[in-house]
Structure 1
Amino acid sequence: MILVPGLWLWRDPWLQWAAGCAGAIRAAGSQPVWFGYSRRVAWTAFLRPTGGTAAELVRRFLALYDRVRARHGPPSVIAHSFGTYLVTRALSDFEGARLRALILFGSIVSETFDWGTIVARGQVTPARMRNEVGAHAAIVRLAAALRRFGYPYGESGVTGFQLDELSRSVNVRYTGPWLADSALARYCRGVWVPLLRPTHPPRRSVLTLRSRELSRT
């Protein structure tokens, strides 16, 4: 599972929310992978979303995606704030990117983002998507206000995405704890991890099977 943070505001995102989620993911038997970047890079990319820094972040995410997919198959992703923009841009730019599941919270992606095309291409499945609505509402609205200056952001983290009837359940009112709260780990374990898990248990490796066979002889 790949964790994609947003902007650094007051604290390192790892300390704010991701560490608790990573612990919950490990406890569930999966391996979290952190897509980290510095405060300077984050703000440069956010303020110049069509510039080279933002494009490089998208390329870095896709490179990480390729490495994870090569080892474990299509990954699940949890993205927050500016991370939601990076992930959806990667899905738009690279048709070959396919996710097992996707959770967005504090999303600054446009409410009219073209999920129809993404779903039609088989990149995500609405049944395995969740957009947490209401988390970090003030920051989401601030990013969305930049649209008047031509920025590609929106307030889907507050209003939800404009989706058809079949996939409207993607938008879910956030009822969890404050994101910096240690209780977020419990929310992640109880709500997010079941959605992010593979639909089938991983197959045992040939090495494991042979080891067990040898132990019986």
Structure 2
Amino acid sequence: MRSKKNQILISLHGIRTRGVWQKKITPRLTGFKHYPLDYGFFSTLKFLNPFSRKKMVEWFRDEYNKIVEENQGMIPSIVAHSFGTYIVAEAMKCYQDIHFDKIILAGSIVKNDFNFEEEYKKNRYTSLLNFICKRDIWVKLAGHIYGFGNSGVYNFSNSNKIDVVKYENMGHSDMLEDDVFRNKMVPFLRKLSSYNNGDSPIRIIDQISTYDVAVWSALTYKEQFVQRYITALASGYFFNDENEQINQPKRLNIIIPSSPSEASSSARIIYFKDYNKISFKINNGDRRSAFYDKGELYDIPSIIGTSEILSLYSNEDEAKNFIHHFSDALRNLTKNISNIEITTK
């Protein structure tokens, strides 16, 4: 399986609905792990009750924390509609540790003076897209209710850090259809954005598949170690710990461990504790070290035991998947090279 770490997307519906649109958009979200949050049918009476609204904001905070924890701290983007936009804005106002990657507001009833620019300066989100639909009668009505605004029709008073898509003839839910989602929302969600301080909520390495990381690691090992070994065979530059030149080894044995942790520097030292350590170089170039026993050279690729790889594939299944792809790639890259044997621990 050539998996990569998906971006996280939360979607949040409005009142008097169960968010059918949330389920419809999922097929468009390749590369995303989608959480279509459903708080049930929320009546107009509850919508008008500030205590009921407060409970929904608290509920959202709990759901947000569960999602972030489940995904090892990855920051989600969010698409919110109608009352969902209110929940998002109130959660950001009440809970300073809630952060987003991208925010999409559709049918927004957030107060027009909500200062998203100030939230951007605090690194609360990377970019925001607000849909303005001039025929949205429900948003216009919400603007007359205390605690709400009509920002889905008239935008925000401070909109310097807000992207806008404007539709003159659309109503309250028209922007939730597939054509708008496909052509406007998905491209916005896929672009790479950074916080005000320049940091990105997404590590680039997380967006590279396990297969690609493994192949790149195998290519790097082949060029930086195997190729130098082959060249050293032609020139004869092999040295022991006393810097004395020794006979060329008869063969290079590459040992692939069962997990990346077994390729760490400490694990390699323990595994080869009874072997002699030697080094080889190309002309006056930098040296590479390996282990020597009975005329043969041994190595466990340290590139698969780096701290980055260990943190990236801490899950046992992911680690095995990475090792499998690395082993296959290295075998393929070295299949026409004589005097090299690849084995697994």
Which interval holds the TM-score relative to the shorter structure?
Answer: 0.7 to 0.9
In structure 2, give the amino acid aligned to 1:215: D
In structure 1, give the amino acid aligned to 2:24: G
Question: For 2:181, which of 188, 210, 213 is the aligned residue?
Answer: 188
1:136 Cα deviation after fit: 6.1
For CA contacts below 8 A with separation 6 or more, give which structure has more relative contact order.
1
The separation in 2 between residues aligned to 1:105 and 1:181, in whole angstroms, is 9
Query: What's the secondary structure of 2:19's corresponding residue?
Result: helix
The separation in 1 between residues aligned to 2:119 and 2:187, in whole angstroms, is 23
- Equivalence for 1:35: 37
Equivalent residues in 2 for 1:1-217, closer than 5 Å: 1-8=9-16, 12-15=17-20, 17-25=21-29, 28-39=30-41, 41-49=42-50, 51=51, 53-70=52-69, 71=71, 73-125=74-126, 128-134=127-133, 137-146=136-145, 151-163=146-158, 166-167=160-161, 169-174=162-167, 184-197=177-190, 199=192, 200=204, 202-203=207-208, 204=210, 206=313, 207=318, 208-216=321-329, 217=331
Q: What TM-score do the two structures reach when normalised by structure 2?
A: 0.52
The separation in 1 between residues aligned to 2:175 and 2:87, in whole angstroms, is 26
Q: Structure 1: which 5+ residue stretches go unaligned?
A: none
1:176 Cα deviation after fit: 9.4
1:178 Cα deviation after fit: 6.9
In structure 1, give the amino acid aligned to 2:107: G
C-alpha deviations, 1:111-132, integer Å up to 9, x for none?
111223312221023xx21010
1:189 Cα deviation after fit: 2.4
The separation in 1 between residues aligned to 2:173 and 2:143, in whole angstroms, is 23
Root mean square deviation of aligned Cα: 2.7
User: Percent identity, aligned pairs only?
Assistant: 24
Q: Structure 2: which 5+ residue stretches go unaligned?
A: 1-8, 193-203, 211-311, 332-345
Distance 1:111 1:117, change over 3 A: same
Distance 1:158 1:178, change over 3 A: closer
Larger radius of gyration: 2
In structure 2, give the amino acid aligned to 1:31: K
Q: What TM-score do the two structures reach when normalised by structure 1?
A: 0.80
- The structure 1 segments of at least 4 consecutive aligned residues displaced by more than 4 Å after TM superposition are 175-183
1:179 Cα deviation after fit: 7.2
Count of aligned positions = 200
C-alpha deviations, 1:97-144, integer Å up to 9, x for none?
11000000100111111223312221023xx21010017610101111
User: 8 Å contact 2:23–2:36 — kept in the other structure?
Assistant: no
In structure 2, give the amino acid aligned to 1:122: N
